[in-house]
Structure 1
Amino acid sequence: MADLEDGLKRLGLHELHVELGGKMVPFAGYEMPVQYPDGVLKEHLHTRAAAGLFDVSHMGQVILRPKGSMEELKLAFEALMPVDVLGLAEGRQRYGLFTDDAGGILDDLMFTNRGDHLYVVVNAACKAADIAHMTAGMPGVSVQPVTDRALLALQGPAAEAALEAVLPGVAAMKFMDHRVIGDIWVSRSGYTGEDGFEVSVPEAQAEGFARKLLAQPAVAPIGLGARDSLRLEAGLCLYGHDIDTTTSPVEAGLTWAIQKARKAGGAREGGFPGAVRILRELAEGPERLRVGLRPEGRAPMREGVELFAPDGTPVGRITSGGFGPSVNAPIAMGYVARAHSAIGTALTGEVRGKRLPVTVAELPFQPTTYKR
């Protein structure tokens, strides 16, 4: 990756994005393609119908190696978040959350047990802070940033056949499986709600690998715009918007990511930053909750829109909002007081001084198609 004069970094596949007509914009310190000539709407629908290829090389890839035993590494990593690391089998991936002492979320991440080490993928904007956090919090662990690999996501119902044509054997993988095939690392996961894969490729091979995928009729390049609308339809959080240090995992509706072993009465109850608050909220419920929201009409309600009860009482705020191409309607997510969080609750959102109707809705907006 090259550094530019304006401080932005350039992806290893930058020239390929430009060749494909990608519109490059600043994002999380990188020049990234926000869309290609087909536009966000068509890219979104193509991913749902066939297969979309995303360059997510801006994400942070990190290898954690034990200086002692693998069990010591797992327990050290587990001490940073309310997630069961010790129980993760080799060749499997899991979603995790770094929490702070107040129970807020420092970042969300994916981690994989690769037998003698852990492979971690963190958000681009949090990369430096996460590496520092892991280094300081795990003195008995070697924290090694990966700087010479691209990360590609292939998502959609045709993703399996497209990747199988290039990497035979991946079709046998299930959701959250991880395999090392030669010098390519493959996880069956993603950020769209669709079946698909995330593939870490040595930078020197990345362009050739991407071109092999794009040569298949089912595969099209997809930019940040459609990535955002796809994850919103799937009800997936965006760090810095739907989750941050002001939100707890319980408020965010991420209790499914806190396994039984770390909850009250579990084999390794607590012992993570913010445990007092998080365990209390698990037992008693939080004061507010992340919910799905359906604005009436065709106009989206965007991040920052304030939400009100019918009597005019402020009850919350939208954290992500836009138009959902697959559901053909405006959709949003946000936080509302627990008393107003039931599906079907009628609220209003203030847009340009007007209070407009919006209803609490079930998440996700679009059914997921993971290969279980």
Structure 2
Amino acid sequence: MPVNQTYATFSDTAFGTAFIIYALALILSLVYYVKIQGVIDARREASRVKQLVTAGGAGNAEDETYLNDDHDLPGAADVKDGIVADDELEARQATARKLANMTQSLVWLGVIVHLVSVVLRGLSADRFPFGNLYEYILVITFCAMVMAAFLLQRPQLRVMWPWVITPMIALLFYGGTALYSDSAPVVPALQSFWFPIHVSSVSIGASIGMVSGIASLLYLLRMWQPKGREKGFFGGVAKPLPSAKTLDNLAYKTAIWTVPIFGLGIILGAIWAEAAWGRFWGWDPKETVSFITWILYAGYLHARATAGWRDSKAAWINILALATMIFNLFFINMVVSGLHSYAGLN
């Protein structure tokens, strides 16, 4: 069947537009991140001054004039200059909330345009858009952004947007440049009823797993830089992040979805392999690494529920699963030749 070049062109245009929208959302999220850092610093400084006031003269009428008298307590002159008035602090918080809302709105707009790109790509060749590595990256980034847009609606989680959008933009940029392929019919081997079912379930499971892995990475950063005791450059980076418990719960809850969905994709792939090649499993490189990835995610859930492994040990397993998935996505697909790889095909 001939390719509809109009749909293909509009799909490419929508892809570029979605990329630009995500880039703008990233810029806004970074500004929001910096604003939140300033708000946190102002809050902590105000809290420190209140503690000094209480310690220096609890029950003393001079407490009320403390901020105007440099000699009342040691270091008073230093803390007075760093105090932010309540109305100014509220204004900063309001500005930060607006930036967060704008980021969220831009992300949803990007997701809608991203969806248009995916749909038009499929319509252009009258098939599901899973025919090459460019299309696979197009789909998994879309699924990951949809999942993140739902998960990060809570105000305390919106500071995570720079950490989510950055790898998505990197994947889209690489996919749209180095891996781009013109829309075309798939090879006969992929013209199967099982093709969209198998690849879509694997894509959805992989995209949720990516969000889970990012949450575990941020959890380790927060554990290294505890809330209220951040130090140095990495302490400043970690300062706006939610608590370690919140990040750990996010990683765990998303991994709960990853394991069954990704596992279902592997099972459906085995059923398709039996129909196409006469065997359920052949230890093809991509089959093997996908199975290892699933084992690691399942191992993370088991470790997360096991006493003695609930801290950073379990998180490292989740991060290893993410690394294995990325290894599978690029190295196995592009370098290693196999029945599932794209090496030499694009």
Structure ID, larger Rg: 2
- TM-score w.r.t. the length of structure 1 is 0.28
- Which structure features the higher share of strand residues? 1
